[in-house]
Structure 1
Amino acid sequence: MTDGGQRQYGPLGTTLVIIPTYNEAENIKPIVSRVRSAVPEAHVLVADDNSPDGTGKLADELAAGDERVHVLHRKGKEGLGAAYLAGFQWGMDNGYGVLVEMDADGSHRPEELPRLLTALKGADLVLGSRWVPGGRVVNWPKRREFLSRGASAYSRVLLDVPIRDVTGGFRAFRVETLNGLGLAEVASAGYCFQVDLARRAVRAGFHVVEVPITFVDREHGDSKMSRDIMVEALWRITAWGFDTRVRKIRGR
């Protein structure tokens, strides 16, 4: 948790839950339904990367029956970071006050979103964290848990960020926070996108709070994690770490 000092926070405004999708036909209807039940006042934006399995069409059907569900059709698969950046821009253009990142596969439980939004009343950014007391993962093999914990620890130490779950992707941002992160400079496409935004928030002096969550492994569909994504994350985080050390030396 970063120090928020004595700052006074204004009202949150309307929440937009951004759900990037690529081949999530089995998951999209259940996850949208759960979000709408958990936070009825929130809107949902499905950012679909032209899924060949028809996810975009299913999302359109949901939007046709619910004025609080929207769909952003993208030309193709360009990575998680690009999908979120497009969703952020859509949300800012349409006047939302809170933008939420959430996976489509059910690993981020919508029922926990109200706790993130409550915490955001006194923060700039709230992270749903697997690695703080009270957080946990369900149905993950030990190898995957080890890799995830290791990636967060590596990022935390190298980038000097006081966040336990640096790589997690269940997050709630105030729109003012996103405006202060320099999103136009973000180039990371894969899962290191989450690390990039976290380090930018800390470096900009924003108050970041971690809320414990239960992360549940997907039951349907395939994970989008790949060797290329892991390699990108490793070299980008290492490069950012070198930049962090240089900045510290120059600041002495």
Structure 2
Amino acid sequence: MSNNIIVDSRKTFTIILPTYNEEEGIADMLTSLKGMYPDFHILIMDDNSKDRTKEVVDALNLDKVRMIVRDSDVRGVTVSVCDGILACGTDYFMCMDSDFQHPLEAAGRIYDELNKGFDLVIGVRVNRRALGFKRSLGSYAFATLASSVLFVHGKTRTKDIASGLFGGNVELFSKVINEEGSKFEMKGFKLLYDFLRNGPSDVNVSEISYEFGKRASGSSKVSPKVIYLSFHQCGIVGRFLAGIYRVIFYRQ
């Protein structure tokens, strides 16, 4: 195991990769992860890709790599990762993008933090220029509103509520999904917020910092629908703003 990561054979770990049409880069992603972390499990949660993502993964035939193709009307990062957590069968999980925007070395750091006893480990972006101006503005607006909602409800907050890089205790968050999942924006993309908003108030959180990179392949999944659903998660004020946004920008 590289990066000085000490794997505790008693504590298993799954990296969950939500995918949709990632045939261009998924082979590089998987071979890179397995090269760094041969003892970690990888679970690809695919939203029924229309390209050859599945064929590419199957052809690699890598050890401890599994793929589930979700053939469901409910699609999105949140529902894919939730299904992955319930299906992974390990002690810990983490989710990350499959396009190299999240640094691979973060997986080892998150595993280390979970082994220290933290319930949830959140990756905090220190450089968001790769997001671009519009995404940065939207991310800031969502973070401000979401953090306000968490504060009002006495919930744990984080420096990067919009982060898509985080890991946690499978037993704890499986329970949160099973008991509170009906309150999640399952078609949405901000699962971390749903976990903090609907999980226990005393969740033990650690944060790691990382540089947010540029996509190595494929295209961004960010769309007006993503922005609409993100605001829709944030209580009465968020739903009001989402309604205005939908009328002006998003009419689907």
Report if TM-score (shorter chain) is over 0.5: yes
- The yes-or-no answer on 1:181 pairing with 2:148 is no
Q: 1:236 aligns with which of 214, 233, 244?
A: 233
* Deviation of 1:198 (Å): 2.5
Partner of 1:147: 138
Task: Deviation per CA, 1:132-184: give whole Å up to 9, x if none.
Answer: xxx22353323322321232122112221421111111111111221342445
Partner secondary structure for residue 86 of structure 1 = helix
Tell me: CA distance 1:143–1:152, structure 2 relative to 1, closer, same or farther (3 Å).
same
Alignment of 1:1-252 (within 5 A): 13-62=11-60, 64=61, 66-76=62-72, 78-92=75-89, 96-122=90-116, 123-130=118-125, 135-160=126-151, 161-186=156-181, 187-188=184-185, 189-201=187-199, 203-239=200-236
* Deviation of 1:29 (Å): 0.8
Partner of 2:244: none
Partner secondary structure for residue 206 of structure 2 = strand
Tell me: CA distance 1:178–1:240, structure 2 relative to 1, closer, same or farther (3 Å).
farther
Aligned-pair Cα RMSD in Å: 2.3
Gaps of 5+ in 1: 1-9, 243-252
Q: Percent identity?
A: 25
Distance 1:228 1:102 in 2: 21
Partner secondary structure for residue 128 of structure 2 = strand
Tell me: CA distance 1:12–1:124, structure 2 relative to 1, closer, same or farther (3 Å).
farther
Tell me: CA distance 1:49–1:128, structure 2 relative to 1, closer, same or farther (3 Å).
same
Residue identity opposite 1:47 in structure 2: M
Partner secondary structure for residue 72 of structure 1 = strand
Distance 1:125 1:173 in 2: 4
* Deviation of 1:58 (Å): 0.9
Partner secondary structure for residue 212 of structure 2 = strand
Gaps of 5+ in 2: 1-7, 240-252
Distance 2:38 2:236 in 1: 42
Tell me: CA distance 1:180–1:216, structure 2 relative to 1, closer, same or farther (3 Å).
same
Q: 2:138, 2:227 within 8 Å by CA — same for their partners in 1? A: no
Distance 1:219 1:225 in 2: 16
Residue identity opposite 1:129 in structure 2: V
- Structure 1 segments, 4+ long, off by >3 Å, are 182-185, 239-242
Partner of 2:248: none
* Deviation of 1:12 (Å): 6.5
Tell me: CA distance 1:163–1:52, structure 2 relative to 1, closer, same or farther (3 Å).
same
Higher mean Cα deviation, 23-32 or 112-121? Answer: 112-121
